[in-house]
């Protein structure tokens, strides 16, 4: 399908200077959200992640088991939204969290570089879903974005989306560090949404992407979620992303259906901030 021509229906991206100014404003506003209630919401939005070459059935089982036991050990704190792992461990996590409401997220599509055949990407995603993944995280093709092959990049997302039922959540990772400019990051975000993404995800450029989500919603009426990943280490980091979403998209986006945080070490830090003492649970 042709997607690139729809980009002309949207206003251009802000300049880098405008984005920096908005980040400075929101960073100051985020101080109001340095409190336990916000930290609890941020904790509940975490996709608890282990994506290591050292992962094994044993280590992932233990990781997932601890997450499942959290419900009993900390009943006053809402648990993380999901556990995020490589496709080969989807079934392993499913066995460990069986009987809990926790969702299973799998990276896929040749993660993290996405530099493989589209057929391989689609098959990997299909296999992860077949094994029990509730949510799939893929990387938008950076090379195609950098060379202006926008339709091709979006069509990859469309093909992968077709490998899963409508109730499976698709998160598309925008490699903002590689795309660099607000213009390309905005285009990548919009193209992903055009092609069926339920979330767009980044380690930076949250302001640009949330603006794209807002503008897309105003034109289509479809709410797409935002996931922050890679830059969240402290409770204050979580509160900053919470505030970006709150300021640009509004409080109605501050649910785990529309806001996620990809994290591993941040889980302990946010939990410590909630409890007021150092906790190393994971």
The set of catalytic residues is: 137, 201, 227
Q: Whole-angstrom distance between the N-terminal and C-terminal Cα of the chain?
A: 44
User: Which of 207, 229, 260, 223 shows the shortest CA–CA distance to 30?
Assistant: 207
d(CA 211, CA 13): 9
Which residues are within 8 A (CB) of 6 and not within 5 positions of it... i.e. 6 or more apart?
Answer: 190, 194
């Amino acid at each position: 399908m042709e997607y690139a021509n729809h980009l002309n229906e949207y206003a251009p991206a802000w300049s880098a200077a405008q984005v920096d100014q908005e980040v400075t404003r929101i960073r100051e506003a985020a101080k109001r959200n340095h409190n336990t209630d916000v930290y609890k919401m941020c904790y509940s939005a975490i996709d608890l992640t282990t994506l290591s070459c050292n992962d094994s059935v044993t280590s992932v089982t233990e990781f997932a088991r601890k997450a499942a036991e959290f419900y009993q050990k900390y009943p006053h704190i809402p648990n993380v939204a999901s556990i995020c792992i490589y496709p080969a461990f989807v079934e392993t996590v499913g066995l460990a969290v069986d009987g809990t409401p926790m969702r299973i997220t799998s990276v896929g599509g040749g993660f993290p570089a996405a530099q493989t055949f589209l057929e391989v990407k689609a098959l990997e995603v299909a296999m992860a879903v077949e094994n029990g993944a509730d949510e799939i995280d893929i990387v938008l093709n950076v090379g195609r974005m950098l060379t202006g092959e926008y339709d091709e990049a979006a069509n990859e997302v469309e093909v992968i989306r077709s490998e899963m039922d409508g109730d499976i959540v698709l998160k598309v990772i925008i490699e903002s560090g590689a795309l660099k400019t607000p213009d390309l990051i905005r285009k990548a975000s919009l193209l992903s949404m055009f092609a069926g993404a339920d979330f767009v995800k980044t380690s930076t450029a949250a302001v640009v992407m949330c603006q794209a989500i807002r503008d897309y919603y105003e034109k289509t009426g479809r709410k797409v979620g935002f996931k922050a990943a890679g830059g969240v280490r402290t409770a204050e980091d979580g509160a900053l992303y919470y505030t970006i979403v709150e300021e640009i998209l509004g409080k109605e986006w501050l649910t785990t259906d529309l806001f996620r945080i990809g994290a591993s070490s941040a889980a302990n830090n946010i939990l410590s901030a909630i409890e007021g003492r150092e906790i190393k649970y994971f």
